[in-house]
């Protein structure tokens, strides 16, 4: 979800190491800290692991075993994380077996990528599940929000997430997509469904909206409440290059728009009972995927009638010239688009760029939905985005 993962890692590692060296003397203490309030294992724990443990005030106790380590800490990956930014929580050694522990300050609810830092080296926590983020399998911590349950597992009918593979004529490779089908899809006869093409952010992949974003659970709960149209959600890997065309200066996603138009849409239409008109297709994405959704959707309005950018990487936007001038004529754009949705968290580094998009659209009288709220560049924000976006899709304009 960052524009340059390697640069971000280098920038963040120095303060982590400095903090560890400063606290090294404390880290080797053998006295146990005062007992924390009773807590429960995090829902992101490996099954059967007690730690990380979440307490009623949303502080979290981490434990690690590192008998030969001199310093151990835990830190979020992102500098704007609700887990103390990426400033480490330094652990204390509890015993001669190499048990280390720390209880954090109260954390912001949501999902946090994090590392254990053992003698300055970042490693995954064997007690937590890993998720594909930051271009690698990375430990993740889920801190439940006491005030929200729209993405929780509930006693409602559940859809499926299916894995499909298809050969790309653009890249020459076999690719895979995760596809959400709503409850009752297999028993709904000849019923055909609209499709939301939903993209992840930089450094993530086609699994991310299911495991980190909980898109399937959000849809299950919305459908159970009769708040949304039954739909398919196709989640693809947002990268791809053409054979023989390496691009050392690019992200490796330069061919992805062609993949969507020439390979992904035909594959989804061939494998599922879809409605194939443009009013039954929407494209959305977060961060990098938000920029991709705007580019692909607005330059292919013969294929899509709904487009959404969730904290999208859309910079230097001009409603008259961006995306091939698709929005230059407000009257024409409003007639073609069933929905144009723009959202961003107020603490996000992309908030200024997102508000520029919104203000430019408003000034040009291009109809759109603007959604803002608290939060940074994080999954808790994008879950809320999908929860607002999905019920607006595939409805006729009044």
Closest CA to 260 of 291, 237, 243: 237
Low-confidence ranges of the chain (pLDDT < 70): 1-37, 246-250, 397-398
Output the pLDDT for position 165.
98
Output the pLDDT for position 245.
75
Please indicate whether the domains covering 5-143 and 160-392 agree at the CATH topology level: no
For residue 115, what are the β-bridge partners? 75
Print the SS3 string covering 263-274: HHHHHHHHHCCE
For residue 290, give the 3-state DSSP assignment: helix
Peptide bond preceding 52 in cis form (omega within 30 of 0): yes
Whats the size of the chain, residue-wise?
398
The two structure tokens encoding residue 337: 């688009």
Residues 327-374: tens digit of each pLDDT = 999 999 999 999 999 999 999 999 999 999 999 999 999 999 999 999
Between CA 9 and CA 17, with CA 13 as vertex, the angle to 5 degrees is 165
CATH number of 160-392: 3.40.50.1820
The two structure tokens encoding residue 84: 């103390």
Output the pLDDT for position 38.
86
Q: Where are the domains of the chain?
A: 5-143, 160-392
DSSP string, 161-196: EEEEEEE-TTTSSEEEEEEEE-TTGGGSTT--B-EE
The two structure tokens encoding residue 32: 């146990």
Output the pLDDT for position 279.
97
DSSP string, 304-372: -SEEEEES----S--TTTHHHHTTSSHHHHHHH-SEEEEEEETTSTTHHHHHHHHHHHHHTT---EEEE
Distances (CA, A) of 285 to 108, 247, 275: 23, 23, 21
The CATH number of domain 5-143, selected from 3.40.50.9100, 3.40.50.300, 2.60.40.10, 3.40.1010.20 = 2.60.40.10
For residue 103, give the 3-state DSSP assignment: strand
Distances (CA, A) of 131 to 115, 128, 207: 12, 10, 8
Distance in angstroms (rounded) separating the CA atoms of residues 157 and 225: 11
Distance in angstroms (rounded) separating the CA atoms of residues 356 and 362: 10
For residue 133, give the 3-state DSSP assignment: strand
For residue 22, give the 3-state DSSP assignment: helix
């Amino acid at each position: 979800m960052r524009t340059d993962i390697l640069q971000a890692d280098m920038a963040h590692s120095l303060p982590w190491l400095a903090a560890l060296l400063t606290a090294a003397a404390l880290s080797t203490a053998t006295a146990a800290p005062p007992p924390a309030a009773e807590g429960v294992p995090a829902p992101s724990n490996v099954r059967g692991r007690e730690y990380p443990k979440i307490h009623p005030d949303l502080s979290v106790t981490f434990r690690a075993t590192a008998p030969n380590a001199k310093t151990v800490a835990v830190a979020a990956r992102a500098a704007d994380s609700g887990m103390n930014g990426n400033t480490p929580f330094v652990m204390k050694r509890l015993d001669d077996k190499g048990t280390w522990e720390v209880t954090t300050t109260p954390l912001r609810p949501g999902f946090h990528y994090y590392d254990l830092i053992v003698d300055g080296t970042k490693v995954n926590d064997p007690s937590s599940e890993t998720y594909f983020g930051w271009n690698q399998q990375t430990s993740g911590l889920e801190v439940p929000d006491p005030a929200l349950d729209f993405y929780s597992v509930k006693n409602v009918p559940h859809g499926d997430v299916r894995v499909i593979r298809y050969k790309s004529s653009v890249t020459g490779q076999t690719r895979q997509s995760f596809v959400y089908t709503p409850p009752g899809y297999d028993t709904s006869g000849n019923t055909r469904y609209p499709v939301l093409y939903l993209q992840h952010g930089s450094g993530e992949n086609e699994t991310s909206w299911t495991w980190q974003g909980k898109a399937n659970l959000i849809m299950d709960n919305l459908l159970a409440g009769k708040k949304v149209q039954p739909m398919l959600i196709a989640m693809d890997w947002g990268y791809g290059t053409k054979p023989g065309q390496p691009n050392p200066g690019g992200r490796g996603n330069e061919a992805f728009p062609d993949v969507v138009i020439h390979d992904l849409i035909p594959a989804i239409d061939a494998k599922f009972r879809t409605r194939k008109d443009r009013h039954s297709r929407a494209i959305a994405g977060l961060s990098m995927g938000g920029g991709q959704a705007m580019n692909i959707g607005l330059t292919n309005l013969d294929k899509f009638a709904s487009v959404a950018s969730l904290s999208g990487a859309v910079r230097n936007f001009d409603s008259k010239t961006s995306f091939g001038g698709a929005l230059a004529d407000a009257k024409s754009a409003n007639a073609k688009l069933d929905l144009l949705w723009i959202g961003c968290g107020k603490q996000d580094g992309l908030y200024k760029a997102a508000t520029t998009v919104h203000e430019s659209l408003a000034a040009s009288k291009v109809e759109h939905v603007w959604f803002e709220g608290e939060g940074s560049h994080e999954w808790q924000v994008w879950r809320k985005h999908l929860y607002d976006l999905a019920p607006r899709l595939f409805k006729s304009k009044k």
